[in-house]
Amino acid sequence: MNTNILDEKKTIITQVKKVDAMHPDMSIIREAAEIICEGGLVGFPTETVYGLGADALLPEGAKRIYAAKGRPSDNPLIVHIADFEALDKITADIPPQAKALADAFWPGPLTMIFRKSDAVPYETTGGLDTVAVRMPSHPTALALIRESCGYIAAPSANTSGRPSPTLAEHVYEDLKGKIPMILDGGAVGIGIESTIIDLSEEIPMILRPGYITKDMLSEVIGEVRDDPGFTSADPNVHPKAPGMKYRHYAPKANLTIVSGEADAVVQRINELTREHHQKGEKVGIICTDETRARYFGDVIESTGSRQNEDSIAQHLYAILRDFDERDVDVIFSESFATPRIGHAIMNRLLKAAGHQVIEV
C-alpha cells in the first residue's frame, strides 16, 4: 500500500482522472475504490455537487475528511449508498415514510436522517446517534460506491467555508496536495446540495432546502415543514443540521442582495454602483441574462435566464468562486426567488450575503 496517500501531513500528488460521467471507465473507478477501501480520500462527481469520499464505516476515513476540508468534527457527514437494501446495515430502523420517499426520489438529490446502527462510527456522524443517508443518481458516484465498500461518507469537496464545487477544477483548487485522486466527470447537473429531511420529528422537517421541494415531499408523505433554524437570520435560532449554522459560501468581497421588482432592482444596483465608483471601488454584479446589458459594474456575471431556474442553481457557486479571483470590493446580487428551487437558491445566497438584503 502507498502509505503517502494516507498521511495528511505530507503533501501528496493529486491525480485528476477524467471519466465519462455516464459510462465511467471501470479500471479508473477500481483505482479510486482501492484508495477509499484503504481509508483514503477521493473527490468525485454527484448530480448535486462534487463530493469528497471516504469509507463511511472506517473512523479514520471520516477523520481524514475533516482534516482535508478544515471542517469542524461536530459537523456530520452524509453516507452515500447505491442500493436501498444497504440501509439495513447502517440504520436502527427504517420508517415507512422513508421507503415511500426512496421510491419517489432515490436515486437522487434527497438525504434522509435515520437512527444509526453500531456499524456507523461516531466520527462519521459527528457524535450524533442519527445518520444522514443519500443514494445519488450520478453513474460515476454509483459505480464508485459499488466498487468501494458500499458506504461512502462524502461532504461537498470544498475547503470549509468556500462555495461547494460544481466542477472538478474547483475541487482541485481547494484540495490539491491534500488528496490523492479526483474523478473529473465534468460539470454537475444540479449545482446545489441535496434536500435534507428529518423523519424523526412528528411532522417531518426539512433541515436543508434543495432541488426536491417541500411540495414534492408533501405529495408523497403529507405535511412537511421547514426547520425554523435555517430560515432565520437570528444567530440564536439554531438549525438542526449542524452544518447549516456555519456561514458558508461567503465570497471575500462584501455581498448584498437587492430584492424587489426588476426595474427597481436594476435602478438601485446602478445607483449603488455609482456611489461605490465615486469612492474609487470596484463593483461586481450577479444578475440574469434579461438584465445584464443594463448594468455598468466592473465585473458582471449572469447566472443564466430567469426562464430557466435550473441554470441559476447550476451557475451560482461557480460565480461566487469566480468573484474571489476578481479584484472587486463589493458585490450586489439580484434576488432569485424563482417558483420551484428559488427557495433553495435563496437559502444559499442569503448565507453568502450574511443576510444583507436591500428591499426596493
Which is nearer to ligand TXA, 239 or 260 (by Cβ)?
239
Q: How many residues interact with Mg ion (rule CB under 5 A)?
A: 1
Q: How far is the CB of 164 from ligand TXA (least distance, A)?
A: 6
| Residue 78 lies near ligand TXA (rule: CB under 6 A) | yes
Binds Mg ion (CB under 5 A): choice among 156, 213, 303, 338: 156
- Burial bucket for residue 304 (CB in 10 Å: 0-12, 13-18, 19+): middle
| Residue 244 lies near ligand TXA (rule: CB under 6 A) | yes
Binds ligand TXA (CB under 6 A): choice among 33, 56, 77, 142: 77
Which is nearer to Mg ion, 28 or 341 (by Cβ)?
341
Q: How many residues interact with ligand TXA (rule CB under 6 A)?
A: 31
| Residue 171 lies near ligand TXA (rule: CB under 6 A) | no
| Residue 241 lies near ligand TXA (rule: CB under 6 A) | yes
With beta carbons less than 8 A apart as the criterion, state whether 225 and 202 touch.
no
Site for ligand TXA in 30-49 (CB under 6 A): 46, 48-49
Contact partner at residue 196 from Mg ion, ligand TXA, none, CB < 5 to 8 Å by partner kind = ligand TXA
Contact partner at residue 57 from ligand TXA, Mg ion, none, CB < 5 to 8 Å by partner kind = none
| Residue 347 lies near Mg ion (rule: CB under 5 A) | no
Of 67, 105, 309, 74, residue with least CA distance to 196: 105
The packing angle between helices 139-147 and 26-37, to 10°, is 50
In this structure, the number of other CB atoms found within 10 A of the CB of residue 161 comes to 13
| Residue 130 lies near Mg ion (rule: CB under 5 A) | no
Q: How far is the CB of 158 from ligand TXA (least distance, A)?
A: 8
| Residue 140 lies near Mg ion (rule: CB under 5 A) | no
Which residue of the chain is nearest ligand TXA when measured via CB? 243
Which is nearer to Mg ion, 46 or 156 (by Cβ)?
156
> In the complex, which residues of this chain contact ligand TXA (CB under 6 A)?
46, 48-49, 51, 75-78, 109, 111, 113, 125, 128, 130-132, 134, 136, 154-156, 193-194, 196, 207-208, 240-244
Residues that bind Mg ion (CB under 5 A): 156
